[in-house]
Amino acid sequence: MPLRDTLARVDADLTAGRVPVARQRLRGLVSSFPNDLMLRRRLAEVYRLYGEHAEAGRWTYLEEDQNAAETEAFEARYRTAQQRMHALAWRGPESLARTAFAREQLAAVRAACSEAVGRPVDWDTVPSGSKEDSRGSSFPGCLAGAGCLVTVLAFLAIWVNGLIALFD
């Protein structure tokens, strides 16, 4: 569906009071057009209707006239540069941003992330922020694996018991 048609539906949804539907449409548009600052601003306006200051700050982070309280809420929710890079969901180089302020914000976040991980990063390959050597070694992960193993063994025991009963 073309961008204009989807925006018309967003307007119709908001007029009809279907705010969750409008939010979902705008999230889809921002996902499809991550470099469109106008779509980000519209999504922030919808989050303001919910009183979601962190999400409103997230989507206006690249705007020069951002609300300081919303920006603080965004930065408090997404504490690390890696988390902010993921949250901003930008794709491509900073030069795709239409305003100098947005380019500066994006460059600052990317530079902070590069410094934090110790190597250059770009917006298309954002590091996850999790330590690679701890993958799979957490207690909840081991507990989940053990639970799966017990379930499979119980299923096999029931199946074998049924097979033996069939031939008795």
pLDDT tens for each residue of 140-163: 878 888 889 999 999 999 998 988
What three-state secondary structure class fits 38? helix
Residues whose CB falls within 8 Å of the CB of residue 46, separated by 6 or more in sequence, listed in order: 14, 19, 22, 23, 26
- Computed over every residue of the chain, the mean pLDDT equals 89
Concatenated DSSP letters of 53-108: HHHHHHHTTT-TT--HHHHHHHHHHS-SHHHHHHHHT--S-GGGSSSHHHHHHHHH
What pTM value is reported for the model?
0.71
What letter represents residue 94's amino acid? E
Amino acid at site 126: V
User: Radius of gyration of the chain from Cα atoms?
Assistant: 23
What pLDDT, in 10s, does the model give residues 107-118?
999 999 999 889
Q: What are the sequence ranges of the domains in the chain?
A: 3-129, 134-168
DSSP letter at 132 equals G
In CATH, 3-129 is 1.25.40? yes
Nearest one of 123, 103, 121 to 113, comparing CA atoms = 121
What's the pLDDT score for residue 133?
38
